Amino acid sequence: MPFRLVFLIKLKMSRLLQKITFFFSSLFLQKEKSTSKVKSLKISDDIILNVMDRLSDFEHTQGYLKPMTLQKLAKKLKTNPKYLSRIINNHYEKNFSSYINDLRINYVLKELETDTSLRKNTVKALAKKLGFGNTESFAKTFKKHTGVNPSNYLNILNRN
């Protein structure tokens, strides 16, 4: 076999081997990323589990109904804000504000369905009761979540 032909075959085999290697290494990395987002945080598993357990307690006791910042919650959970933020970002796939606001909106939607006296509150009163800093923030979050302004939502509920 001529030298040039042998060289071309080896070159093509080498390129093919590189492509195969790249393909499988990419596949492995994608699988590793998708199965373990939390591990990429560089936070120990014990800390992650501890924070997640405390977040679950926070949700269960409805701590989100009080005005809350990342720093306040981190202090309450006995962790640092950076860890808490990363854990929320990775576990819930949202930022801290969205996490808290979603909890609040889900809570008020359930309460409005069952507690007819709550329906008589103003939007401002609901915002304050839910721990929002202002009415505008509540209204914007509510509309984003439901597609309807809170005042319209209350009017619809009160008609029924």
Q: 72-125: per-residue pLDDT in tens?
A: 999 999 999 999 999 999 999 999 999 999 999 999 999 999 999 999 999 999
pLDDT band, residue 13 (cuts 50/70/90):
low
* Contacting residues for 109 by C-beta, under 8 A, at least 6 apart: 145, 146
Residue 159: what pLDDT? Answer: 82
The whole-chain average pLDDT of the chain stands at 83
**Residue located via tokens 């369905």:** 113
pLDDT band, residue 45 (cuts 50/70/90):
confident
Residue 12: what pLDDT? Answer: 52
